[in-house]
Amino acid sequence: MSKLSQNFLHDKSFVDKFVYYVFSMGLTRPLIEVGCGKGIITAKVNPDVCIEIDVNLLQYLRSFSPVVSDARFLPVFRGSIVSSLPYSITRDFFIEVSELNDVNKMLLILQKDFVDKILEYPSYISFLLNYYYLIRPMDVIPPDAFSPKPKVYSQIVYFVRKRRYDDRVSQVIECVSRFRNKKVKKAAELCNIKSDNERRVRDYKPWEILELLSSMDISSV
């Protein structure tokens, strides 16, 4: 494994499947690939912007005019993103990209455990993503499809933005999520919001985020 915790998808069947999804699911240009790695996917999707943080990998990407940058601090503001994200930066990446209203679609390879959590486990990041995106989990990828081989399964996931960024809503989600074991009424009070809701924050599934916000009289668009 590289010092930047990158795992490169090398199994041809999964590479081809990912590329098929890129072209069949309506991802619009400019197409941004985050973490181009050794260019295995890059060569097939021909991104308009190729972002890679590891300067040791630039030798594989010369044909794509790579931009050296960190996925947690993206130098782009619009388009569609494709990426096999390093697992260690997944959370920070999503917090960053949630604020980019004109990044409308993403096709990502994520750690399957992370995908399971954002679909079922109540937390700040799962509430946040379910508020801003339609989330469609797709193919599960085994560890041996990568090099070096990770210890966990991965999954292709398609994200489509459904709401523009709202700083107030994001702050409420972050604050209330800190008190997931408390009743919503108490969590809201600790966040300087009023609510009479006696359910606990943890009782809400991530996809019930609108119901949770509504119980605190927080409107959404």
- Annotation-wise, does 130 bind a ligand? no
Strand pairing class (49-52; 67-68)? parallel
State the Cα–Cα distance between residues 186 and 201, nearest whole angstrom.
10
- Annotation-wise, does 26 bind a ligand? no
- Annotation-wise, does 7 bind a ligand? yes
State the Cα–Cα distance between residues 199 and 215, nearest whole angstrom.
10
- Annotation-wise, does 181 bind a ligand? no
H/E element, 168: helix 167-177
- Annotation-wise, does 5 bind a ligand? no
State the Cα–Cα distance between residues 57 and 32, nearest whole angstrom.
17
Q: Which residues of 199-214 are buried (b: 16+ CB within 10 A; e: fewer)?
A: ebbeebbbbebeebbe
Torsion angle of the four alpha carbons 84, 89, 90, 94, in this order, in degrees rounded to the nearest 10: -110
- Annotation-wise, does 9 bind a ligand? yes
Take residue 122 and report the two structure tokens written for it.
């109540």
User: Residues forming the annotated binding site for S-adenosyl-L-methionine?
Assistant: 7, 9, 35, 52, 70, 84
User: Residues forming the annotated binding site?
Assistant: 7, 9, 35, 52, 70, 84
